[in-house]
Structure 1
Protein backbone atom coordinates (compact mmCIF):
# COMPACT_ATOMS: atom_id res chain seq x y z
CA UNK A 1 0.00 0.00 0.00
CA UNK A 2 1.58 3.28 -1.10
CA UNK A 3 -0.58 5.63 0.97
CA UNK A 4 -0.50 5.80 4.75
CA UNK A 5 -2.78 2.98 5.97
CA UNK A 6 -5.98 4.01 7.68
CA UNK A 7 -5.14 1.51 10.45
CA UNK A 8 -1.76 -0.12 11.07
CA UNK A 9 -0.86 -2.60 13.82
CA UNK A 10 2.76 -3.56 14.42
CA UNK A 11 3.83 -6.38 16.73
CA UNK A 12 0.84 -5.93 19.05
CA UNK A 13 0.79 -8.16 22.13
CA UNK A 14 -1.90 -8.58 24.76
CA UNK A 15 -2.20 -11.12 27.54
CA UNK A 16 -4.51 -11.66 30.49
CA UNK A 17 -2.48 -13.23 33.27
CA UNK A 18 -0.81 -16.32 31.82
CA UNK A 19 -3.09 -16.41 28.76
CA UNK A 20 -1.54 -14.87 25.65
CA UNK A 21 -4.31 -13.55 23.38
CA UNK A 22 -2.45 -11.37 20.89
CA UNK A 23 1.03 -12.63 20.11
CA UNK A 24 2.53 -10.13 17.70
CA UNK A 25 -0.29 -8.89 15.45
CA UNK A 26 0.86 -7.20 12.24
CA UNK A 27 -1.96 -5.85 10.09
CA UNK A 28 -2.76 -2.94 7.79
CA UNK A 29 -6.10 -1.66 6.56
CA UNK A 30 -6.07 0.72 3.61
CA UNK A 31 -8.23 3.81 3.28
CA UNK A 32 -11.66 2.88 1.98
CA UNK A 33 -10.87 -0.83 2.20
CA UNK A 34 -13.16 -3.50 3.61
CA UNK A 35 -11.10 -6.02 5.57
CA UNK A 36 -12.64 -9.13 7.10
CA UNK A 37 -10.79 -10.93 9.91
CA UNK A 38 -11.69 -14.61 10.27
CA UNK A 39 -10.68 -17.09 12.94
CA UNK A 40 -12.09 -19.39 15.57
CA UNK A 41 -13.51 -18.42 18.94
CA UNK A 42 -10.90 -17.22 21.40
CA UNK A 43 -8.28 -16.43 18.77
CA UNK A 44 -8.14 -12.73 19.61
CA UNK A 45 -10.42 -11.08 17.02
CA UNK A 46 -12.52 -9.09 19.50
CA UNK A 47 -9.51 -8.23 21.67
CA UNK A 48 -7.78 -6.82 18.60
CA UNK A 49 -10.76 -4.56 17.86
CA UNK A 50 -10.92 -3.40 21.48
CA UNK A 51 -7.22 -2.52 21.37
CA UNK A 52 -7.74 -0.44 18.22
CA UNK A 53 -10.64 1.37 19.88
CA UNK A 54 -8.64 1.89 23.07
CA UNK A 55 -11.06 -0.09 25.22
CA UNK A 56 -8.08 -2.32 26.00
CA UNK A 57 -4.44 -1.25 26.11
CA UNK A 58 -1.92 -3.53 24.38
CA UNK A 59 1.02 -4.70 26.48
CA UNK A 60 3.45 -3.84 23.70
CA UNK A 61 3.34 -2.82 20.06
CA UNK A 62 2.11 0.04 17.92
CA UNK A 63 -1.41 0.93 16.75
CA UNK A 64 -1.69 3.83 14.31
CA UNK A 65 -4.82 5.44 12.89
CA UNK A 66 -4.19 7.84 9.99
CA UNK A 67 -0.51 7.59 10.88
CA UNK A 68 -1.05 8.74 14.47
CA UNK A 69 0.14 6.52 17.30
CA UNK A 70 -2.87 5.82 19.50
CA UNK A 71 -1.49 3.69 22.32
CA UNK A 72 -0.24 6.72 24.25
CA UNK A 73 -3.20 9.06 23.78
CA UNK A 74 -4.68 10.87 26.74
CA UNK A 75 -8.40 10.74 27.50
CA UNK A 76 -9.24 13.91 25.56
CA UNK A 77 -7.28 12.82 22.49
CA UNK A 78 -8.81 9.34 22.75
CA UNK A 79 -12.32 10.82 22.81
CA UNK A 80 -11.53 12.84 19.68
CA UNK A 81 -10.21 9.73 17.94
CA UNK A 82 -13.35 7.74 18.77
CA UNK A 83 -15.43 10.16 16.71
CA UNK A 84 -13.86 8.54 13.65
CA UNK A 85 -15.38 5.16 14.52
CA UNK A 86 -18.76 3.53 14.17
CA UNK A 87 -19.58 0.09 15.55
CA UNK A 88 -22.14 -2.60 14.86
CA UNK A 89 -22.10 -4.83 17.92
CA UNK A 90 -22.75 -8.55 17.96
CA UNK A 91 -26.41 -9.11 18.87
CA UNK A 92 -27.29 -5.50 17.90
CA UNK A 93 -26.99 -4.29 21.54
CA UNK A 94 -29.94 -1.92 21.36
CA UNK A 95 -31.38 -0.15 24.38
CA UNK A 96 -34.75 -1.75 25.12
CA UNK A 97 -36.14 1.21 27.07
CA UNK A 98 -35.95 3.80 24.29
CA UNK A 99 -37.51 3.93 20.86
CA UNK A 100 -35.76 2.82 17.70
CA UNK A 101 -34.98 6.33 16.45
CA UNK A 102 -33.53 7.24 19.84
CA UNK A 103 -31.25 4.20 19.61
CA UNK A 104 -30.01 5.34 16.21
CA UNK A 105 -29.57 8.92 17.44
CA UNK A 106 -28.04 7.96 20.80
CA UNK A 107 -24.47 8.94 19.91
CA UNK A 108 -25.60 12.16 18.26
CA UNK A 109 -27.59 13.24 21.31
CA UNK A 110 -25.32 11.98 24.09
CA UNK A 111 -21.94 12.31 22.40
CA UNK A 112 -22.39 15.23 20.02
CA UNK A 113 -25.01 17.04 22.17
CA UNK A 114 -27.11 17.53 19.05
CA UNK A 115 -30.65 18.90 19.53
CA UNK A 116 -33.17 16.06 19.58
CA UNK A 117 -35.23 17.24 16.58
CA UNK A 118 -32.14 17.42 14.35
CA UNK A 119 -30.86 14.07 15.66
CA UNK A 120 -34.26 12.51 14.97
CA UNK A 121 -34.21 13.75 11.38
CA UNK A 122 -30.80 12.16 10.85
CA UNK A 123 -31.90 8.93 12.56
CA UNK A 124 -34.94 8.64 10.33
CA UNK A 125 -32.79 9.22 7.24
CA UNK A 126 -30.37 6.50 8.33
CA UNK A 127 -33.26 4.11 9.00
CA UNK A 128 -34.37 4.78 5.45
CA UNK A 129 -30.87 4.00 4.21
CA UNK A 130 -31.15 0.49 5.69
CA UNK A 131 -34.64 -0.06 4.31
CA UNK A 132 -36.78 0.77 7.35
CA UNK A 133 -39.78 3.11 7.34
CA UNK A 134 -40.34 6.10 9.65
CA UNK A 135 -43.02 4.08 11.45
CA UNK A 136 -40.34 1.63 12.60
CA UNK A 137 -38.49 4.53 14.23
CA UNK A 138 -41.34 5.00 16.68
CA UNK A 139 -41.32 1.37 17.83
CA UNK A 140 -39.27 -0.21 20.62
CA UNK A 141 -36.56 -2.81 19.88
CA UNK A 142 -38.59 -5.63 21.46
CA UNK A 143 -41.23 -5.08 18.77
CA UNK A 144 -38.75 -5.86 15.97
CA UNK A 145 -37.51 -9.11 14.45
CA UNK A 146 -33.84 -10.05 14.76
CA UNK A 147 -33.15 -8.94 11.20
CA UNK A 148 -34.82 -5.56 11.77
CA UNK A 149 -32.81 -5.08 14.96
CA UNK A 150 -29.62 -5.67 12.97
CA UNK A 151 -30.73 -3.03 10.48
CA UNK A 152 -31.33 -0.57 13.31
CA UNK A 153 -27.88 -1.35 14.71
CA UNK A 154 -26.39 -0.68 11.27
CA UNK A 155 -28.26 2.62 11.06
CA UNK A 156 -26.82 3.57 14.45
CA UNK A 157 -23.31 2.61 13.32
CA UNK A 158 -23.51 4.99 10.33
CA UNK A 159 -25.51 7.77 12.02
CA UNK A 160 -22.50 10.02 12.58
CA UNK A 161 -21.03 9.13 9.15
CA UNK A 162 -17.83 7.66 10.61
CA UNK A 163 -14.58 7.23 8.71
CA UNK A 164 -14.09 3.71 10.11
CA UNK A 165 -16.77 1.13 10.88
CA UNK A 166 -16.26 -2.06 12.88
CA UNK A 167 -18.67 -4.96 12.41
CA UNK A 168 -18.62 -7.62 15.13
CA UNK A 169 -20.19 -10.87 13.83
CA UNK A 170 -22.88 -8.91 11.91
CA UNK A 171 -24.89 -11.96 10.77
CA UNK A 172 -24.89 -14.00 13.99
CA UNK A 173 -28.33 -15.44 14.74
CA UNK A 174 -29.82 -14.62 11.33
CA UNK A 175 -31.20 -17.03 8.77
CA UNK A 176 -29.21 -17.26 5.50
CA UNK A 177 -31.54 -14.98 3.54
CA UNK A 178 -31.61 -12.23 6.16
CA UNK A 179 -27.86 -12.60 6.63
CA UNK A 180 -27.39 -11.92 2.92
CA UNK A 181 -29.67 -8.87 3.17
CA UNK A 182 -27.52 -7.51 6.01
CA UNK A 183 -24.33 -8.24 4.06
CA UNK A 184 -25.63 -6.31 1.06
CA UNK A 185 -26.65 -3.39 3.27
CA UNK A 186 -23.19 -3.33 4.86
CA UNK A 187 -21.53 -3.23 1.45
CA UNK A 188 -23.86 -0.44 0.29
CA UNK A 189 -23.54 1.68 3.43
CA UNK A 190 -19.75 1.39 3.56
CA UNK A 191 -19.49 2.30 -0.14
CA UNK A 192 -21.90 5.25 0.18
CA UNK A 193 -19.89 6.66 3.10
CA UNK A 194 -16.50 5.91 1.54
CA UNK A 195 -15.62 4.42 4.91
CA UNK A 196 -12.94 1.95 5.93
CA UNK A 197 -14.48 -1.24 7.32
CA UNK A 198 -13.15 -3.99 9.56
CA UNK A 199 -15.39 -7.00 10.14
CA UNK A 200 -14.79 -9.99 12.37
CA UNK A 201 -16.82 -13.08 11.59
CA UNK A 202 -17.03 -16.86 11.50
CA UNK A 203 -19.43 -16.69 8.55
CA UNK A 204 -17.55 -17.36 5.32
CA UNK A 205 -20.54 -16.39 3.16
CA UNK A 206 -20.49 -13.01 4.90
CA UNK A 207 -16.71 -12.71 4.55
CA UNK A 208 -16.82 -13.39 0.81
CA UNK A 209 -19.60 -10.82 0.30
CA UNK A 210 -18.19 -8.00 2.42
CA UNK A 211 -14.43 -8.27 2.01
CA UNK A 212 -11.95 -6.68 -0.32
CA UNK A 213 -9.28 -8.54 1.63
CA UNK A 214 -9.44 -11.31 4.22
CA UNK A 215 -7.01 -11.92 7.08
CA UNK A 216 -6.96 -14.98 9.32
CA UNK A 217 -5.92 -14.85 12.94
CA UNK A 218 -4.70 -18.00 14.69
CA UNK A 219 -3.06 -18.29 18.10
CA UNK A 220 -2.84 -14.53 18.37
CA UNK A 221 -1.10 -13.94 15.03
CA UNK A 222 -2.17 -13.04 11.52
CA UNK A 223 -1.19 -16.17 9.57
CA UNK A 224 -2.57 -15.20 6.14
CA UNK A 225 -3.86 -12.16 4.31
CA UNK A 226 -5.04 -11.94 0.75
CA UNK A 227 -7.73 -10.81 -1.64
CA UNK A 228 -11.13 -12.30 -0.95
CA UNK A 229 -11.12 -14.03 -4.33
CA UNK A 230 -7.92 -15.89 -3.36
CA UNK A 231 -9.23 -17.41 -0.12
CA UNK A 232 -9.93 -20.83 -1.68
CA UNK A 233 -6.37 -21.04 -3.02
CA UNK A 234 -4.55 -19.65 0.02
CA UNK A 235 -1.99 -22.44 0.18
CA UNK A 236 -2.34 -22.34 3.97
CA UNK A 237 -3.62 -25.50 5.65
CA UNK A 238 -5.12 -23.60 8.61
CA UNK A 239 -7.03 -21.25 6.31
CA UNK A 240 -8.21 -24.13 4.13
CA UNK A 241 -9.53 -26.06 7.14
CA UNK A 242 -11.36 -23.04 8.54
CA UNK A 243 -12.86 -21.93 5.23
CA UNK A 244 -14.23 -25.39 4.47
CA UNK A 245 -15.26 -26.18 8.06
CA UNK A 246 -13.33 -29.43 8.37
CA UNK A 247 -12.91 -31.16 11.72
CA UNK A 248 -9.60 -32.68 10.64
CA UNK A 249 -6.59 -30.48 10.09
CA UNK A 250 -3.94 -28.46 11.91
CA UNK A 251 -6.55 -26.53 13.95
CA UNK A 252 -7.47 -28.73 16.88
CA UNK A 253 -10.50 -27.84 18.97
CA UNK A 254 -9.96 -28.05 22.70
CA UNK A 255 -12.69 -30.30 24.14
CA UNK A 256 -12.91 -30.73 27.88
CA UNK A 257 -13.72 -34.24 29.05
CA UNK A 258 -16.81 -34.55 31.21
Structure 2
Protein backbone atom coordinates (compact mmCIF):
# COMPACT_ATOMS: atom_id res chain seq x y z
CA UNK A 1 0.00 0.00 0.00
CA UNK A 2 1.50 3.32 -1.06
CA UNK A 3 -0.87 5.77 0.60
CA UNK A 4 -2.85 5.74 3.83
CA UNK A 5 -5.90 7.28 2.17
CA UNK A 6 -8.21 4.51 0.88
CA UNK A 7 -9.07 4.20 -2.79
CA UNK A 8 -12.21 2.10 -2.24
CA UNK A 9 -14.29 1.89 0.93
CA UNK A 10 -17.27 -0.45 1.40
CA UNK A 11 -19.41 0.15 4.48
CA UNK A 12 -22.22 -2.13 5.74
CA UNK A 13 -22.91 -3.42 2.22
CA UNK A 14 -25.99 -5.62 1.81
CA UNK A 15 -27.31 -7.31 -1.33
CA UNK A 16 -30.11 -9.84 -1.68
CA UNK A 17 -31.92 -11.61 -4.50
CA UNK A 18 -35.42 -12.23 -3.20
CA UNK A 19 -35.11 -14.15 0.07
CA UNK A 20 -31.48 -15.09 -0.63
CA UNK A 21 -29.06 -12.82 1.23
CA UNK A 22 -25.77 -12.71 -0.65
CA UNK A 23 -23.91 -9.87 1.07
CA UNK A 24 -24.62 -9.25 4.74
CA UNK A 25 -22.81 -6.19 5.97
CA UNK A 26 -19.49 -6.01 4.12
CA UNK A 27 -16.94 -3.54 5.52
CA UNK A 28 -13.74 -3.29 3.49
CA UNK A 29 -11.15 -0.63 2.75
CA UNK A 30 -8.61 -0.88 -0.09
CA UNK A 31 -5.66 1.48 -0.08
CA UNK A 32 -4.19 3.34 -3.04
CA UNK A 33 -1.72 1.13 -4.85
CA UNK A 34 -2.73 -1.91 -2.82
CA UNK A 35 -3.44 -5.34 -4.27
CA UNK A 36 -6.24 -7.02 -2.34
CA UNK A 37 -7.49 -10.50 -3.16
CA UNK A 38 -10.89 -11.82 -2.06
CA UNK A 39 -11.08 -15.59 -1.70
CA UNK A 40 -14.01 -17.87 -0.96
CA UNK A 41 -16.02 -20.73 -2.37
CA UNK A 42 -18.52 -20.57 -5.20
CA UNK A 43 -21.70 -18.71 -4.31
CA UNK A 44 -20.20 -16.81 -1.38
CA UNK A 45 -20.80 -13.39 -2.95
CA UNK A 46 -17.42 -12.48 -4.46
CA UNK A 47 -18.73 -11.64 -7.92
CA UNK A 48 -21.78 -9.87 -6.48
CA UNK A 49 -19.51 -7.61 -4.43
CA UNK A 50 -17.48 -6.81 -7.54
CA UNK A 51 -20.63 -6.02 -9.54
CA UNK A 52 -21.87 -3.71 -6.80
CA UNK A 53 -18.62 -1.72 -6.92
CA UNK A 54 -18.86 -1.53 -10.72
CA UNK A 55 -22.47 -0.35 -10.49
CA UNK A 56 -23.85 -3.38 -12.34
CA UNK A 57 -25.86 -4.22 -9.21
CA UNK A 58 -27.29 -1.83 -6.64
CA UNK A 59 -27.08 -2.81 -2.96
CA UNK A 60 -30.18 -2.50 -0.78
CA UNK A 61 -28.10 -0.99 2.00
CA UNK A 62 -24.65 0.40 2.58
CA UNK A 63 -22.09 2.70 1.06
CA UNK A 64 -19.46 2.40 -1.68
CA UNK A 65 -16.94 5.22 -1.86
CA UNK A 66 -14.28 5.59 -4.54
CA UNK A 67 -11.73 8.33 -3.88
CA UNK A 68 -14.08 9.51 -1.13
CA UNK A 69 -17.05 9.85 -3.50
CA UNK A 70 -20.27 7.95 -2.82
CA UNK A 71 -21.15 5.97 -5.95
CA UNK A 72 -24.29 4.12 -4.84
CA UNK A 73 -27.24 5.74 -6.59
CA UNK A 74 -25.27 8.17 -8.77
CA UNK A 75 -26.59 9.11 -12.22
CA UNK A 76 -25.62 7.29 -15.41
CA UNK A 77 -23.44 10.21 -16.50
CA UNK A 78 -21.63 10.28 -13.16
CA UNK A 79 -21.24 6.51 -13.33
CA UNK A 80 -19.60 6.78 -16.76
CA UNK A 81 -17.13 9.30 -15.34
CA UNK A 82 -16.25 7.04 -12.40
CA UNK A 83 -15.93 3.99 -14.65
CA UNK A 84 -13.11 5.68 -16.58
CA UNK A 85 -10.95 4.92 -13.54
CA UNK A 86 -11.41 1.17 -13.99
CA UNK A 87 -9.77 -1.60 -15.95
CA UNK A 88 -11.03 -5.19 -15.88
CA UNK A 89 -9.69 -8.63 -16.65
CA UNK A 90 -12.74 -10.84 -17.04
CA UNK A 91 -12.92 -14.52 -16.20
CA UNK A 92 -12.14 -16.42 -19.40
CA UNK A 93 -10.69 -13.30 -21.02
CA UNK A 94 -13.94 -12.25 -22.77
CA UNK A 95 -12.16 -11.13 -25.93
CA UNK A 96 -14.15 -10.10 -28.99
CA UNK A 97 -13.76 -12.90 -31.56
CA UNK A 98 -14.47 -10.61 -34.53
CA UNK A 99 -11.75 -8.09 -33.63
CA UNK A 100 -8.02 -8.47 -34.12
CA UNK A 101 -5.87 -8.68 -31.02
CA UNK A 102 -4.74 -5.05 -31.17
CA UNK A 103 -8.36 -3.91 -31.62
CA UNK A 104 -9.32 -5.90 -28.51
CA UNK A 105 -6.56 -4.22 -26.51
CA UNK A 106 -7.46 -0.77 -27.88
CA UNK A 107 -11.22 -1.21 -27.46
CA UNK A 108 -11.53 1.12 -24.46
CA UNK A 109 -9.31 3.72 -26.09
CA UNK A 110 -11.30 3.79 -29.33
CA UNK A 111 -14.82 3.32 -27.98
CA UNK A 112 -14.46 4.94 -24.57
CA UNK A 113 -11.97 7.73 -25.22
CA UNK A 114 -12.70 8.23 -28.94
CA UNK A 115 -9.00 8.01 -29.69
CA UNK A 116 -7.91 7.80 -33.33
CA UNK A 117 -7.26 4.23 -34.43
CA UNK A 118 -3.63 4.80 -35.40
CA UNK A 119 -2.72 6.20 -31.98
CA UNK A 120 -4.76 3.53 -30.21
CA UNK A 121 -2.98 0.83 -32.20
CA UNK A 122 0.42 2.17 -31.14
CA UNK A 123 -0.63 2.06 -27.48
CA UNK A 124 -2.07 -1.46 -27.95
CA UNK A 125 1.24 -2.72 -29.38
CA UNK A 126 3.07 -1.11 -26.44
CA UNK A 127 0.75 -2.84 -23.95
CA UNK A 128 1.16 -6.16 -25.74
CA UNK A 129 4.90 -5.79 -25.28
CA UNK A 130 4.36 -5.22 -21.54
CA UNK A 131 2.70 -8.64 -21.29
CA UNK A 132 5.37 -10.35 -23.38
CA UNK A 133 3.68 -10.50 -26.79
CA UNK A 134 5.29 -9.44 -30.06
CA UNK A 135 3.80 -6.69 -32.22
CA UNK A 136 2.96 -9.34 -34.82
CA UNK A 137 0.43 -10.86 -32.40
CA UNK A 138 -1.65 -7.72 -32.78
CA UNK A 139 -2.70 -8.73 -36.28
CA UNK A 140 -4.06 -12.10 -35.17
CA UNK A 141 -7.57 -12.99 -34.03
CA UNK A 142 -8.24 -14.43 -30.55
CA UNK A 143 -9.07 -17.84 -32.03
CA UNK A 144 -5.50 -18.05 -33.31
CA UNK A 145 -4.06 -17.75 -29.81
CA UNK A 146 -3.48 -20.27 -27.04
CA UNK A 147 -5.34 -19.87 -23.74
CA UNK A 148 -2.29 -18.34 -22.09
CA UNK A 149 -1.83 -15.84 -24.92
CA UNK A 150 -5.50 -14.90 -24.78
CA UNK A 151 -5.13 -14.19 -21.07
CA UNK A 152 -2.12 -11.97 -21.81
CA UNK A 153 -4.18 -10.05 -24.37
CA UNK A 154 -6.97 -9.63 -21.82
CA UNK A 155 -4.42 -8.28 -19.33
CA UNK A 156 -3.04 -5.87 -21.95
CA UNK A 157 -6.60 -4.63 -22.53
CA UNK A 158 -7.13 -4.18 -18.79
CA UNK A 159 -4.11 -1.87 -18.51
CA UNK A 160 -4.47 -0.14 -21.89
CA UNK A 161 -6.12 3.00 -20.50
CA UNK A 162 -3.69 3.23 -17.55
CA UNK A 163 -6.57 2.75 -15.10
CA UNK A 164 -6.44 3.80 -11.47
CA UNK A 165 -8.23 0.60 -10.39
CA UNK A 166 -8.02 -2.86 -11.96
CA UNK A 167 -10.37 -5.74 -11.19
CA UNK A 168 -9.23 -9.31 -11.83
CA UNK A 169 -12.01 -11.91 -11.97
CA UNK A 170 -10.51 -15.41 -11.56
CA UNK A 171 -7.44 -14.41 -13.63
CA UNK A 172 -5.92 -17.92 -13.86
CA UNK A 173 -9.07 -19.90 -14.71
CA UNK A 174 -8.41 -22.55 -17.35
CA UNK A 175 -4.61 -22.24 -17.28
CA UNK A 176 -2.07 -24.90 -16.41
CA UNK A 177 -0.02 -24.24 -13.23
CA UNK A 178 3.04 -22.92 -15.08
CA UNK A 179 1.11 -20.53 -17.30
CA UNK A 180 -0.97 -19.46 -14.28
CA UNK A 181 2.24 -18.50 -12.51
CA UNK A 182 3.39 -16.55 -15.58
CA UNK A 183 0.10 -14.62 -15.62
CA UNK A 184 0.32 -13.97 -11.87
CA UNK A 185 3.81 -12.56 -12.37
CA UNK A 186 2.61 -10.34 -15.20
CA UNK A 187 -0.29 -9.08 -13.06
CA UNK A 188 2.11 -8.05 -10.30
CA UNK A 189 4.45 -6.40 -12.83
CA UNK A 190 1.75 -4.56 -14.77
CA UNK A 191 -0.15 -3.32 -11.72
CA UNK A 192 3.06 -1.84 -10.34
CA UNK A 193 3.97 -0.25 -13.68
CA UNK A 194 0.53 1.34 -14.04
CA UNK A 195 0.48 2.31 -10.35
CA UNK A 196 -3.04 0.94 -9.97
CA UNK A 197 -5.08 -0.31 -7.06
CA UNK A 198 -5.98 -3.96 -7.69
CA UNK A 199 -8.95 -5.99 -6.47
CA UNK A 200 -9.02 -9.65 -7.44
CA UNK A 201 -11.37 -12.54 -6.75
CA UNK A 202 -10.11 -16.09 -7.05
CA UNK A 203 -10.28 -19.69 -5.84
CA UNK A 204 -6.61 -20.16 -6.74
CA UNK A 205 -4.52 -19.87 -3.58
CA UNK A 206 -1.23 -19.89 -5.50
CA UNK A 207 -2.51 -16.85 -7.37
CA UNK A 208 -3.76 -15.16 -4.21
CA UNK A 209 -0.46 -15.64 -2.41
CA UNK A 210 1.53 -14.23 -5.33
CA UNK A 211 -0.48 -11.15 -6.28
CA UNK A 212 -1.94 -10.05 -2.93
CA UNK A 213 -0.70 -7.54 -0.40
CA UNK A 214 -3.74 -8.46 1.70
CA UNK A 215 -6.25 -11.28 1.48
CA UNK A 216 -9.90 -11.22 2.57
CA UNK A 217 -12.07 -14.33 2.87
CA UNK A 218 -15.78 -14.10 2.14
CA UNK A 219 -18.04 -16.77 3.60
CA UNK A 220 -21.84 -16.76 3.62
CA UNK A 221 -21.95 -13.09 2.68
CA UNK A 222 -19.56 -11.89 5.38
CA UNK A 223 -15.85 -11.21 5.55
CA UNK A 224 -14.57 -13.66 8.13
CA UNK A 225 -10.87 -12.78 7.87
CA UNK A 226 -8.83 -9.91 6.43
CA UNK A 227 -5.08 -9.68 6.81
CA UNK A 228 -1.67 -9.56 5.15
CA UNK A 229 -1.06 -12.32 2.61
CA UNK A 230 2.00 -13.32 4.61
CA UNK A 231 -0.16 -14.14 7.64
CA UNK A 232 -2.87 -16.26 6.04
CA UNK A 233 -1.14 -19.54 6.92
CA UNK A 234 -1.35 -18.55 10.59
CA UNK A 235 -4.79 -16.92 10.50
CA UNK A 236 -6.10 -19.01 13.39
CA UNK A 237 -9.46 -19.17 11.59
CA UNK A 238 -10.62 -22.77 10.96
CA UNK A 239 -12.70 -21.74 7.91
CA UNK A 240 -9.73 -19.98 6.33
CA UNK A 241 -7.40 -22.84 7.19
CA UNK A 242 -9.71 -25.42 5.61
CA UNK A 243 -10.21 -23.36 2.46
CA UNK A 244 -6.58 -22.45 1.76
CA UNK A 245 -5.45 -26.06 2.17
CA UNK A 246 -8.39 -27.53 0.26
CA UNK A 247 -9.34 -29.97 3.00
CA UNK A 248 -12.55 -32.00 2.79
CA UNK A 249 -12.92 -32.09 6.55
CA UNK A 250 -13.63 -28.89 8.44
CA UNK A 251 -16.37 -26.47 9.47
CA UNK A 252 -17.37 -25.59 5.91
CA UNK A 253 -18.02 -29.23 4.99
CA UNK A 254 -19.74 -29.88 8.32
CA UNK A 255 -22.18 -27.09 7.66
CA UNK A 256 -22.83 -28.41 4.16
CA UNK A 257 -23.69 -31.82 5.62
CA UNK A 258 -26.06 -30.22 8.06
Bin the TM-score by the shorter chain: over 0.9
Q: Does 1:235 align with 2:236?
A: yes
Q: For 1:162-241, what aligned pairs fall within 5 Å after superposition?
A: 162-241=163-242
- 2:109 and 2:58 map into 1 onto residues whose CA distance is 26
> Is the CA contact 1:184–1:209 (under 8 Å) kept in the aligned structure 2?
yes
Matched, 1:41 2:42: yes
Report Cα offsets for 1:35-57 as digits up to 9, x if no partner. 00000000000000000010110
Shift in Å, 1:18: 1.0
SS of 2:252's partner is: coil
> Aligned with 1:6: secondary structure?
strand
The answer to whether the Cα contact below 8 Å between 1:22 and 1:44 also exists between their aligned partners in 2 is yes
Structure 1, gaps ≥5 residues long? none
Superposition pairs of residues 77-88 of structure 1, within 5 angstroms: 77-88=78-89
In the superposition, the TM-score normalised over structure 2's length comes to 0.97
TM-score (norm 1): 0.97
In 1, Cα distance between equivalents of 2:11 and 2:82: 19
Quote the Cα distance in structure 2 between the aligned partners of 1:232 and 1:4. Answer: 28
SS of 1:123's partner is helix
Displacement of 1:254: 4.7
Q: Deviations over 1:68-92 (max 9, x none)?
A: 1110211111000000000000000
Once superposed, what is the RMSD of the aligned Cα atoms? Answer: 1.2
- For residue 8 of structure 1, what is the aligned residue in structure 2? 9
Match of 1:104 in 2: 105
Paired residue total? 255
Greater mean alpha carbon deviation, residues 143-152 or residues 66-75: 66-75
CA contact (8 A) 1:4 1:67 kept: no
Counterpart CA distance in 1 for 2:26 and 2:251 is 20
- 2:31 aligned residue: 30
Of the structure 1 ranges 68-77 and 147-156, higher mean CA displacement relative to structure 2 is found in 68-77
Q: Distance in 2 between matches of 1:82 and 1:243?
A: 32
Q: Runs of 4 or more off by more than 6 Å in structure 1? A: none
What is the correspondence of 1:48-67 to structure 2 with a 5 Å cutoff?
48-67=49-68
> What is the distance in 2 between the residues matched to 1:235 and 1:105?
45
